[in-house]
A and B are shown apart, each in its own frame.
Chain A
Amino acid sequence: MSCTPPSDSAPSTTAPTAATVHTLPEHILEILSDSGEGAQKCGQSFGAVSAKMGNGAWTVEIIPAEIQPPPRTPEGASGVRIRIGTDEVTNWGNRTKLVIAFNEQVLLSRHRVQALADDAIILIENMWETHADANIRQAWADAFAELSTANYRFIQVPMEEECLKIVDNPRRGKNMFALGLMSWIYHRDVEKVKDQIAMQFRHKPKEVYERNVRLLEAGIAWAQTHLDFRFDIPTGDVSEDLVVMNGNTALAMGAVMSGLELCSMYPITPATSVSHYLSSIFDDMGGVVHQAEDEIAAIGVAIGASYAGKVAFTVTSGPGMALKTEFIGLAVMSETPLVIVDVQRGGPSTGLPTKVEQSDLLSTLFASPGDSPKVVLAPSTIEECFHCMITARQIAETFRAVVVVLSDANLATGQQPFSRPKLQANWHALEPNLGPVKDGHQPFGWDAETGLSQRIVPGRLGGQYTATGLAHNEDSHVSYDPYNNQRTSAMRSRKLAVLQSTLEPPRVVGPESNDLLLVGWGSTRGAIEEAAEKARAEGLGVSSTHLTFLSPLQPGLKEIFSRFQHVMTVEINYSDEADDPYINEENRRRGQLSWLLRATTLVDVDCWTRVLGQPLSPGDILQVIKKKLS
């Protein structure tokens, strides 16, 4: 056929004399399949094994929005990008260098969004070219015509044929064969790969494990016989104790360690897997995952539980946050400590359910009518997903506050190795005080300076009071007194300023004063810092800083900004482009953090934002830096 891809699949069975080994500091690969063919499991296993061998690693899942999208369609592409390196890897990088694709349609989806390097090596299942169905043969030919605009190197792999030698249903097995290919290409430690498989199938009969190992070995053997290249990404120092997991698992573990004992939730992507993981371990650890009837009930149950005892939490994503807002106001008003995790996804409305966005910052800050001051913080790495839950719980309790943790879809499913936390008992909540209440202890005995007060949980003799969302005084008696309302509003607000007084200014990465300061928050940290570092290497005057606290903002921002010619936020949310039609200085809608920083510092903070439903790439940010400084 004329449209057959230029391929160097060796029709002969003889091995290349010796594969050339390319030693590189880092590499990016992707594995792509139809949904249900297991590319995600395979890619995540590869990432975990790489981390376990001492490579830096970062994985990003490519997730279709539907559970069973039609097979062999670009929309149905499901898979993982894995970036591995000798040193720490903090983001998904730029373009993919090696792809394993189970069909040409899923490959097309990545080609069309320019995710692949022009000279990428593509190992592709070749059964479709000669498929009995003429439509499929035509689709293959059309796809390759489209793909021919790039200089990919195609290697046809008879995955199905090889897998059929071992299993009856190659749809359940190809991914292990592919893992074999990847393992050979990247010199993975086969014992560690097998351990990973054993863990994956630990609840299944032994035959399942054995069958999968045979598939893995078949992949390795095929690669060894047919491929003329291998990559060696030297491993770094593994003297430190490391763990590798995704952000949602880390959040769940952090929740357990912090002493949160009730997770009240309603399923919503991409937050749900926090509760899946938690459900699998929590009962045994003395905790309960309560799946409520909706997000409103979910937060209500958490508030009720917090009011009655230990701080509880709820986990959700944007649409769920929207539903929770009235209850957030009740928690703020009744000063019931509460932790809310919002794993952000693309919006508005149902938006891009499985994709990353950082669009809930402002709606979170202002969630709930009236003035409802709350604490908002954002982890920027998987490691921080663990630790921020401990911080969040402590702040919620100390300040009798609502603390919102803004994670996102990138952190939720991304895997990254990090230092294994040395668990400390003082990270855990104390049992609530159930002793008698001392005379004069009021349920809202605000300290006039700080607004802080000691809450009283039911069960305490002599402490009876009725918490209420109505304006109230120290005794929690309803009060419509105008001065009381002014004063108690100040008390609730003051707590944020007091918290801020305990925070450090954010660290500036790069020179302390410079031409341009990039400001980010959340999961974009790695990409921003990498881009700024590359820019500095090219002689550009760029530094960056990353905010963990969004409410209250960390102190010293105005002073830091004053040392830079330009300040610009980089975010995954929508902003108008300055030169778009109708857009001018005054009506331009800006990135959410830049909006906030402009309001609080009066500095002309610019922004560069994208809503592509994917993490930012350092290469794209580098281009933005160059443009800004040109």
Chain B
Amino acid sequence: MSSTCSLLGCETLDNRNFSLEDYGGPTPRWCPGCGDHAILTAVQRLLATEQLKPETTVFVSGIGCSSRFPHYVETYGFHGIHGRALPLATGIKLARPELDVFVVMGDGDCCSIGAGHWVHAIRYNLNLTVMLLDNNIYGLTKKQTSPTTPQGFKSNTQPRGSYLPPINPLQTTLGITNASFVAQTADWMPSHLAATLEAAHAHQGLSFVRILQRCPVFTPDIFTEAVKNPQITDVLVHPQGIEDPTSAGIYKSQITHDPSDIHEARRLAEACDRVRVGLFFRNESFPRYEVLRTVPKRTVEEKINLLNKEFDRYAI
């Protein structure tokens, strides 16, 4: 990065070079083998690759195992309340569009208690990088059924098995007006995860990334087959999609999918017995709320003048 303000004495700032360690916070308290570790590493790599300034980067989360995320990244953060990460992030971005804002949510957080905000945040399409860490279960509160829990899966609240088919976060998101970036990846596909996060971060608008996440404690078997057997995974590929040459040798089933095709995206997102990762949809021309809501900056004197004009209307 070039120095532009040496006269102000902040030359050193612009010449900083951040290593992976610069983004490392305290040791995460997730269980050994938890998929969240891999996701954290991938995110820290992204920060280092992109050389994002720690002081202008903000991680926002709700409540859950996954929502501990901001504490483990050496940037600004807001660990909020269950289901409400997106309103907090919306406020941060509206007030300070120049900040780089990441949102981390669990499946209960995003798809259950925060589902209303999920729908509306997608429509606002603020420039946020949103990650859904989907372990198909409530982790922090110890194994209750989540909206993405597979039908029949036994939990502490549905011990005879989950009654209903799970919600499909990809299809749901793809059904919302103004959805501008929808992708899926998995914690056990490090290079694909990294490539997806990079594309998501580069996207101008809200990028929604569902990350399939292993919870060895409460859902140890749900992703076992997918992890062991690369043949059940389809990787969506396209010149405008996510580039991940590294895993091409392992994941042989590659589907060419043009991410500008919303209908095909919805079809590919349909529930089936395959795991589909890659970029389902992207359109950078959709309206972004923070851009639409940009207002002129007024000095206090200007405001007082304008306000005095208003008072004139009510003057006696």
User: Which residues of A are at the interface with B, using a C-beta cutoff of 8 A?
Assistant: 51-52, 54, 199, 238, 241-245, 249, 253, 256-257, 259, 261-262, 264, 281-288, 290, 292-294, 296-310, 312, 326-327, 329-330, 334, 417, 420-421, 423, 425, 428, 458-470, 477-478
Contact = CB atoms under 8 A, between A and B. Distances in A.
B79 A466 contact: yes
Interface in B35-54: 54
Contacts of A287: 295
B79 A293 contact: no
**Max chain B CB contacts within 10 Å: which of A199, A241, A259, A286?**
A286
Contact of B77 (A421, A425, A462, A465): A465
Interface string B285-316: 00000000101111011011011101101111
A352 B14 CA distance: 59
B87 A304 contact: yes
Contact of B76 (A259, A465, A469): A465
24 contacts: A243-B315, A245-B314, A249-B314, A253-B311, A281-B306, A282-B295, A286-B303, A290-B293, A293-B120, A294-B116, A297-B116, A304-B92, A305-B95, A307-B88, A327-B84, A421-B311, A423-B304, A459-B56, A459-B98, A459-B99, A461-B55, A465-B76, A466-B76, A469-B80
A307 B315 contact: no
Interface string B103-121: 0000000000000110110
B169 interface: no
A54 B316 contact: yes
Nearest to A252: B310
Given A281-B310, A293-B116, A462-B55, A304 B295 contact: no
Contacts of A241: 315-316
B207 interface: no
Contact of B293 (A285, A288, A470): A288
B167 interface: no
A303 B77 contact: no
A421 B98 CA distance: 35
Contact of B95 (A244, A298, A310, A461): A310
A483 to B, nearest CB: 21
B199 interface: no
Given A290-B293, A292-B87, A293-B116, A285 B306 contact: yes
Query: Does more than half of chain A's interface fall in helix, strand or loop, or is it mixed?
Result: mixed
B84 A296 contact: yes
A461 B303 contact: no
Contacts of B181: none
Mostly, the B contact residues are helix
Contacts of A297: 84, 86-87, 90, 116-117, 120
B89 interface: yes
Nearest to A330: B81
Given A284-B296, A458-B92, A464 B54 contact: yes
B232 interface: no
B26 interface: yes
B314 A423 contact: no
A299 B63 CA distance: 17
A303 B88 contact: yes
B13 interface: yes
A306 B91 contact: yes
Contacts of A293: 116-117, 119-120
Contacts of A302: 91
Interface stretch (B67-75, B151-159, B234-242, B261-269): B67-75
Contacts of A310: 95
Q: Which of B75, B80, B98, B308 counts the most chain A CB atoms within 10 A?
A: B80
A525 B80 CA distance: 40
Contacts of B75: 464
A262 B94 contact: yes
A458 B58 contact: yes
B316 A242 contact: yes
A68 to B, nearest CB: 29
A467 B92 contact: no
A425 B301 contact: yes
B96 interface: yes
Nearest to B305: A423
A12 B297 CA distance: 65
A467 B70 CA distance: 9
Given A253-B311, A286-B296, A301-B90, A52 B316 contact: yes
Given A285-B306, A468-B71, A470-B79, A308 B87 contact: no
Given A288-B94, A294-B116, A466-B70, A327 B316 contact: no
A464 B58 CA distance: 9
B56 to A, nearest CB: 6
Contacts of B98: 459
B133 interface: no
Contacts of A309: 95-96
Given A245-B314, A308-B95, A460-B55, 11 more contacts: A243-B311, A257-B303, A259-B300, A303-B91, A305-B92, A305-B95, A307-B78, A459-B56, A459-B99, A469-B79, A470-B79
A285 B303 contact: yes
B59 interface: yes
B95 A304 contact: yes
Given A284-B296, A287-B295, A300 B84 contact: yes
